[in-house]
Chain A
Amino acid sequence: MKRKALAIFMCTAMAAGIMTGCGSSASTTPSEAPAASEAPAASEAASSEAPAASEAASTEAASTEAAAEAGESAADEVAKNDGEVLNIGFAQVGAESDWRTACTDSVKSAFSAENGYNLIFNDAQQKQENQIKAIRDFISQDVDYIILDPVTETGWDQPLQEAADAGIPVIVVDRMVDVSDSSLYTAWIGSDFELEGKKACAYLKAYLDAKGFTDTVNIVDIQGTIGASAQIGRTAAFDAAAKENGWNVVSQQTGEFTQAKGQEVMESILKQSDDVNVVYCENDNEAFGARDAIEAAGKKVGTDIANGDIIIMSFDATNAGLTDTLDGSILVNTECNPLYGPVLTQYVQKLKAGETLDHDSYIAESQFSADDTVTSVNVDGTDYAVTLLTQDVLNARAY
């Protein structure tokens, strides 16, 4: 009797498991509903922002790679779809940061129903198996294009092969995939972290030159989580620039991309050496921590390096980061652009028109400073404009 009851219980449990299992995949569609109600607001924001943004883009040297690639259309213009509605499957990593949320919102608002797309969104909650399942779902739903922001780099051969067999082009965004045959995906677009680092270093050099600062530059590098691609690129650029410009690297430690660690590490570094005058933080959160530590040590954060201010440089250009950039406590903030939506619509339209895409390319990213000393930086022979940050620019940002 007992055994029977147990068996019945197990059966119901399993059935429930299956139901919830289906539920989670099916719930991607219902979960669209609240998102859709959000979408008008988001697209409103996007459209109100569009003129300002395209203005910024036109002042920004048209030499940024993605813009050059896009040819006549600006990099941040949404390419609308005429004719039959295109089904797009988007496998997103999750919603672990505001950067990621901004990325998701950008893609959702670009591939909106008004623009002639039907976006099937899947949130993998940081799990690769969810993404693989999502891709298989997309294939069985016979979507026209798949967009994949992979959780991990490896393990994609099989699912991408399945997509290729089904004849569905896959566009990989943000993070890379590591597959034996790179023709398994149609294109990759993401951030060039090393270029970000180079731009930041070039800015510092240009700024110091413009200010006529000739003393030793005692610089600290608060690195990101060791091994993260953002850390690798930004640190590599830093190392090269420090060597080239003869900057004295006081310390190079990881702040693990968090404010608490950034603060703790900076606190310790300041006790070891008294003459730090530049801090290169590899993301905004570390910059906040570094600033607090510097202020707690009785030093001043600012832009006036000649009079003892400590300069903070940062990356990512999140809203909070730019707020601090605006008041001058962060001298320069180099963007890590999450707004993949517009460029992806252009990609899709190009593929629809039968054009071929560059296999690997980088998204256009800008640089912000509230100080107008340096208006453009030169990296490897290319000029990149620095956007002068004002409250209006900040308000117009989508995230």
Chain B
Amino acid sequence: MNKKGFSLKGLTKKRLFMPIACLIVVLLINLVKTPDFFNISINNGVLYGYIIDVINRGSELAILAIGMTLVASSSGGTDISVGAIAAVAAAVITNILSGGTDSVNEFHAPLLLAILAGLLVAVLCGMWNGFLVASLKIQPMVATLILYTAGRGIAQLITRGQITYIRVDAYKVIGSQFGKNPVPAPIYVAVLMIVIATLFLKYTAFGLYVQTVGINAKAARLVGLNPVKIQFLCYMICGLMAGIAGVIYSSRIYSCDANNIGLNVEMDAILAVALGGNSLAGGKFSLPGSLIGAYTIQALTTSLYAMGVSSDQLPVYKAIVVVVIVSLQSPELYKMLKHRKANSEKKNLIKEAVQS
């Protein structure tokens, strides 16, 4: 880092510098390994290319990262139930649409109604988590562990243990594309969510409240904020985001596979928040950071696919990269390096002194 010179020093101090740099490095590796990684073409009326895959497939993760950021900031904990909530939402939606059968070729209920019901259930799940964490003061991980384990069971119960197929083109829209629009539909959903969240945080004091509660809940209460309410709201939003991600997951495969929808995605969402340079201990947060983190994870996954790494070995490579990225962002590491440098300089000085 020191080689970069003074003009860059200001830049490197910026909060988002490291997350962005990591994303760029991940993408640059592709330039060497898979030169056509950045090719974008229009194929069959849809934008086509690895970069599009990254943005498209990263949509769910980006949406989940929004909720996870708020949760991590306000409560200093993580919501590990988001994957399960996504499965529950998908199960509710497909079950309403299918009217209780395993495979249908037409809707048994209006699509919008089903999606709203699914999102409502997701919000309820979020409220449950919020109630446990905010009101009962249960540790976030323990509180959300309940739905983490029970959520998929609930989803299985709703779908009666079957994979429910909705073979209707209208249901595939959210997971594929809007009419003849060349941009994949999940991207629109993700962008919409990001814009809403950004505006909400920018033009209301909510973001500030969340950070205040996360830094010191007692102090927040003394200045007139209600920490319980704010944490509760954060978990509720997180539930809603999980529900929206569930809609996309389900629409992509026009079915609900309760065992596999959003499987292990909670860990990726938490990772996205961490990669974005946010502290999981609560307090200050940066939403753009989390989003960059989310797309970095997806870029990594897609890159590894492009390099032909089998998806069962993927976690290993992912882990290596994550260790590198996270440690690069750790202030302690720089302190250690500085310390060593100072020590060696000291030694050199002593040596010189002795020699002279």
Contacts and interface: CB of A to CB of B under 8 A. Distances in A.
Contact of B310 (A95, A253, A259, A288): A253
Which bucket holds chain B's interface residue count? Answer: 20 to 34
A320 B311 contact: no
Contact of B162 (A98, A254, A289, A292): A98
Interface string A279-296: 000000100110010011
Interface in A24-69: none
B305 A268 contact: yes
Given A97-B161, A260-B260, A272 B46 contact: no
Contacts of A95: 161
B312 A226 contact: yes
Given A297-B43, A297-B44, A260 B163 contact: no
B306 A101 contact: no
Interface string A171-189: 0000000000000000000
Interface in B39-77: 43-44, 46, 48-50, 53, 57
A319 B162 contact: no
A254 B311 contact: yes
B212 interface: no
B352 to A, nearest CB: 57
B253 A320 contact: no
A101 B102 CA distance: 13
A263 B310 contact: no
A264 B304 CA distance: 12
B108 interface: no
Contacts of B161: 95-98, 100-101
Given A268-B306, A272-B308, A296 B44 contact: yes
A267 B252 CA distance: 13
Nearest to A125: B153
B311 A98 contact: no
A127 to B, nearest CB: 13
A391 B162 CA distance: 22
Contacts of A255: 311
Contacts of B53: 267-268, 271
A263 B161 CA distance: 22
B103 A260 contact: no
A268 to B, nearest CB: 4
Contacts of A97: 161, 163
A98 B48 CA distance: 35
B29 to A, nearest CB: 16
A98 B46 contact: no
Interface residues of A, number: 36
A225 B259 CA distance: 14
Nearest to B48: A297
B171 interface: no
B302 interface: yes
A285 B308 CA distance: 21
B253 A288 contact: yes
Interface in A295-329: 295-298, 319-320, 323
A261 interface: yes
Interface in B232-272: 249, 252-253, 255, 257, 259-261
B257 A285 contact: yes
Given A98-B102, A265-B305, A320-B165, A271 B311 contact: no
Contact of A96 (B259, B302, B305): B259
Contacts of A267: 53
Given A264-B57, A268-B302, A254 B312 contact: yes
A156 B338 CA distance: 58
Nearest to B255: A259
A271 B48 CA distance: 9
A251 interface: yes
A319 B253 contact: no
A285 B163 contact: yes
A297 B41 CA distance: 11
Contacts of B57: 264
A258 interface: yes
Contacts of A260: 249, 252-253, 257, 260-261
Point out which of B44, B249, B253, B261 has the most chain A C-beta atoms below 10 A from its C-beta. B253
B81 interface: no
B161 to A, nearest CB: 4
A365 interface: no
Given A260-B257, A268-B306, A319-B102, 7 more contacts: A96-B156, A100-B161, A252-B310, A253-B310, A260-B252, A264-B57, A320-B165
Interface of A: 95-98, 100-101, 225-226, 251-256, 258-261, 263-265, 267-268, 271-272, 285, 288-289, 292, 295-298, 319-320, 323
21 contacts: A95-B161, A96-B156, A96-B161, A98-B161, A98-B162, A225-B312, A256-B260, A258-B257, A259-B255, A263-B253, A264-B57, A264-B311, A267-B53, A268-B50, A268-B53, A271-B36, A271-B49, A272-B306, A285-B163, A289-B253, A296-B176
